[in-house]
Amino acid sequence: MQLIGLARIGRDAELRKTQSGESVCSLSLAFSYGRKGQDGNKPTQWVEGTLWGRQAEALEQYLLKGKLVCVTLDEPHIETFEGRNGPGHKLTGRISSLEFAGGGEGQQRQPAPSQAPAAAQRPAAPAAPAKGGFEDMDDDIPF
């Protein structure tokens, strides 16, 4: 079974090593579902996900609180734990696929001026003459 969906990262990723030296990155993911309630918010299901190996090492620095990601979790399951207020339960799974979603908030690099595309250096094409209203449109519109 898999869990696939869009989620917000709830806290910055935590990278650690297992006793055998394998890298593992823990993520807290918030999935919204259902209809908005009286408070105007959709219910949220929190899921603990883990990334392993080189993928964990490469992505850890970009997995920051608030980022929107599309994830696939393999074999999601409920784990029990002992918390401050007694026993608790959490939904958890291993992340097999992760893609960033939404805007890139300043993550896009601008090319150096010497590397500007050739199209940007060409003169602009002359503007087409302005047309009138609906009477200038073709009558053979296919819809």
Domain residue spans of the chain = 2-102
Is pTM beyond 0.85 here? no
21: Cβ contacts below 8 Å, ≥ 6 apart: none
| Percent of the chain topping pLDDT 90 | 55
pLDDT digits (tens, 9 = 90+) for 18-67: 999 999 999 999 999 889 889 988 999 999 999 999 999 999 999 999 99
- Which pLDDT score, from 0 to 100, does residue 140 have? 52
pLDDT digits (tens, 9 = 90+) for 70-116: 999 999 999 998 888 888 888 999 999 999 997 545 443 233 444 44
- Which pLDDT score, from 0 to 100, does residue 83 have? 83
Asked if residues 48 and 6 have their Cβ atoms less than 8 Å apart, the reply is no
CA distance 60 to 15: 7
- Which pLDDT score, from 0 to 100, does residue 139 have? 53
pLDDT digits (tens, 9 = 90+) for 56-74: 999 999 999 999 999 999 9
CA distance 4 to 81: 24
Q: Which two tokens stand for residue 114?
A: 């010497």
The alpha helices in the chain, defined as continuous H runs, are 53-59, 118-121
55-58-64 Cα angle (round to 5): 105
Query: How much is the mean pLDDT over the chain?
Result: 79
26-31-34 Cα angle (round to 5): 165
Domain 2-102 maps to which CATH number in 1.10.3720.10, 1.10.220.10, 1.10.10.10, 2.40.50.140? 2.40.50.140
